[in-house]
Amino acid sequence: MGKARYLKLLLTGVAVTLAVLGMAPASASSANISHPYHASGSIPDGSIVSIDPRHSDYIQLANINNGSRLLGVAVASNDSLIAVDVGSGTIQVATSGMATVLVSTLNGTINVGDQVAVSPFNGIGMKAMPGSRVIGLAQTSFNSSPSGLTTTQQVKDKNGNTTSLKLGYVQLSIAVGTDASDSNLTAMQRAAKAITGRVVSTFRIVVSLIVAIVALIAIGALVYASIYGSIISVGRNPMGRQMVAKTLIWVMALGALTMAVSVGTIFLLLQ
């Protein structure tokens, strides 16, 4: 699903907010340090937040529109190793360490090691896309969320198509930044990713290319030799035309089998 797909989604803020508030808040764990901020509205624990440019020391729920001001994760004060200036009316925001964050399956299921980024939905993260604003690195998978801490939300796009999203929590290591993973890929890796949809090591790509080249050379030589030999044989012995045709069919079948094995090998290498 591309970025344009996300921009087409209607931001059903009321429905999502109700879903978030209706879920049992998961406590953050081992946030190294958190600071107090004010907010104009309700911000549940585990929400991703950005700086509010309209007020000093104020935060707002983060989304793709204000992701450039991404700050951290809202946490409970008793879940921080150091909570600075805890007071009523303020929200503690962790900017480092570990935290439990609210996420969705908008861009696919989040697994251990995936980068989590802001999404079109306020305060809710998703699996990062190249160039998106990232809040951190997932330490647990979405599917490992405790029972009762997940819910399903129905969202409609501008065309009226309904998309079912799962909302839940993952624990992540906070590291605010931009996902520039594709900038570190080689040209071959980018090409392989465009075909397979995943990052493949350069070694596997090179081996796949070698297999493809060897297979093409072998099949080409086999077909050329068989056709050339068939022409010579028929020219010398026209009566043996039927036998030559059968032999040519067997050679073509062998070439097709070689191609199928080569394609299967390349497929396995690129997984």
Q: What is the mean pLDDT of the chain?
A: 75
pLDDT in tens, 81-124: 666 666 667 888 998 888 889 998 888 888 888 889 998 888 99
Using the predicted structure, report yes or no on whether residue 26 has a pLDDT greater than 90. no
Question: Rounded CA gap, 84 and 88, in Å?
Answer: 13
When pLDDT is averaged across residues 149-159 and rounded to a whole number, the result is 62
CA distances from 86 to 16, 40, 60, 90, 144 (A): 28, 18, 19, 7, 31
Query: Tokens standing for 89?
Result: 């009316």
- Other Cβ atoms closer than 10 A to 67: 19
Tell me if the pTM is above 0.75: no
